[in-house]
Amino acid sequence: MYTKTFRFQFVLFSFLCLAFVSNAQDRIFTYTYQSNVLNKGQREIEVWNTLRQGKQDFFSRLDNRTEYEVGLGGNLQTSFYLNLTTKTKTVMEGAQKSTETNYEIGFSNEWKLKLLDQVANPLGLALYGEYGISSNEYELEGKIIIDKKINNLTIAGNATYEAEFAPTYVNNQLNWEKEGKVDYNLAFGYALSHGFHITQENNFKNVYVEKELEHSALYSGLGFSYVRDNFWVNFTAMPQIKSFKGATNSKLNLNEYEKVQFRLLFSYAF
């Protein structure tokens, strides 16, 4: 069932690619947002694929997000996501280890407002908000986006706060566990030719439980972006570099985070 859903999304995306022609929003980073938004009436399909691998025992997670973006005018856009996740991890059954696979499905809606332009103004500036509803938790996210384009160089930074609410049972009583996530992103992209960029991204991740810092780690990696007319594709490999809180014996935090993430985005505007 889950495989068929992924296959259906791929076929739908391929059909849209053949059916429409327009100009794409030129996003060159995979983890770091930029301030640009779609023009009024412009629409875009984005497909996100994130592979996360490596914890203390076997762990593999694949996140797929299919996004439909719409430009509303007035430097405002909104997006709707279908989120699908599959996780395979090691579990203990008595004294024996085995693996189990879990599936999650969710929906998200984002709103993005551009306040300043990265070329016309000293800095690009945008505000971003998103809420998410899934089968196992609820999420609220806010983000400040800044960026600047200087000749062939693009620099972008994000500050993000996300609140997650998950149901748990304590002494047979239902409780809602709140987890706060604070992320900082800094990214650099350099245009080697028209439409092709080499990128470098950094992601400083922090998790707070009951207002106490429980996990903190730095990811840093390289990638590329290719833009052609109304289509673009971005890829980044992001290994965990160092843990600052919650480190395991390997000096990485492999309880909350993974050793490495790979993200591939591709999009078509119409």
Q: What is the pLDDT of residue 119?
A: 87
The beta strands (E) that lie in 58-118 are given as: 59-73, 76-93, 96-116
What is the SS3 assignment for 3?
A: helix
Q: According to DSSP H, which parts of 62-189 are helical?
A: none
User: pLDDT 10s digit of each residue in the chain, 270 long?
Assistant: 444 444 544 444 444 333 333 344 569 999 999 999 999 999 999 999 999 999 988 999 999 999 999 999 999 999 999 999 999 998 888 788 888 999 999 999 999 999 999 989 999 999 999 999 998 899 999 999 999 999 999 999 999 999 999 988 888 888 888 999 999 999 999 999 989 999 999 999 999 998 899 999 999 999 999 998 889 999 999 999 999 999 887 799 999 999 999 999 999 988
Q: What is the pLDDT of residue 244?
A: 96
CA distance 117 to 126: 9
Q: How many angstroms separate the Cα of 82 from the Cα of each of 37, 48, 104, 166?
A: 20, 10, 11, 19
Q: What is the pLDDT of residues 177-233, one digit of tens each?
A: 899 999 999 999 999 998 999 999 999 999 999 889 999 999 999 999 999 888 999
Q: State the pTM of this model.
A: 0.86
CB 148 within 8 A of CB 123: yes
Q: Which amino acid is at 31?
A: Y
Domain of residue 35 covers: 2-269
Q: Domain of 116: which CATH number?
A: 2.40.160.40
CB 107 within 8 A of CB 132: yes
Chain-centre distance for alpha carbon 79:
14
Tell me, letter by letter, the H, E, C secondary structure of 133-158.
EECCCEEEEEEEEEEEEECCEEEEEE
CB 262 within 8 A of CB 50: yes
Residue 75 φ/ψ region, left for φ over 0, alpha for ψ in the -120 to 50 degree band, beta for the rest: left
21, two tokens: 């022609």
Phi, psi of 268 (to 5 degrees): -140, 130
CA distance 196 to 96: 49
Q: What is the pLDDT of residue 20?
A: 34
Q: How many angstroms separate the Cα of 243 from the Cα of each of 57, 83, 240, 246?
A: 18, 28, 8, 7
Q: What is the pLDDT of residue 168?
A: 85
Q: What is the pLDDT of residue 50?
A: 98
Domain count for the chain: 1
Q: According to DSSP H, which parts of the chain are helical?
A: 2-19
Q: What is the pLDDT of residue 25?
A: 55
Closest CA to 185 of 221, 139, 227: 221
CB 180 within 8 A of CB 166: no
